[in-house]
Amino acid sequence: MTLRARERRASDKLNQGVELDWLAFYWGINTAPDPTRWTTRLIHDTYRNACGGQPCRDAQVGWAQLVEASNAVADVEQARLLRTLGRDARVDDQP
């Protein structure tokens, strides 16, 4: 089910699930067409950058940190895709 199809099913209790929002976000960036596609290595490197170059064990990475790290690690189009899909999937900390 696409993100838009899920939004149309307002009565679906899963529509409110944060986990599904993040799943839609990760799926979107990982399955985007090249050259904007995010590999799992790029996702890993971005989180590592957001955690100060260290593994993110027990760390809470906020959306602003993730966006800043994406600007440092990914290319311009990939960073733009992250912001766009984050907004579309509602994982960008915006109400």
pTM of structure:
0.78
pLDDT in the model for residue 18: 79
Domain that holds residue 29: 17-88
pLDDT in the model for residue 74: 97
Q: Is residue 48 part of a domain?
A: yes
Q: Is residue 5 part of a domain?
A: no
DSSP the chain: --HHHHHH-TT-GGGG-HHHHHHHHHHHHHSSPTTTPPPHHHHHHHHHHHTTTS--TT----HHHHHHHHHHHS-HHHHHHHHHHHHHTT-SS--
pLDDT in the model for residue 33: 95
Residues of the chain predicted below pLDDT 70: 1-16
pLDDT in the model for residue 17: 74
Q: Is residue 75 part of a domain?
A: yes
Lookup: tokens for 17: 């699930």
Give the count of domains, the chain.
1
Q: Is residue 30 part of a domain?
A: yes
d(CA 51, CA 3): 29
pLDDT in the model for residue 8: 53
Q: Is residue 93 part of a domain?
A: no
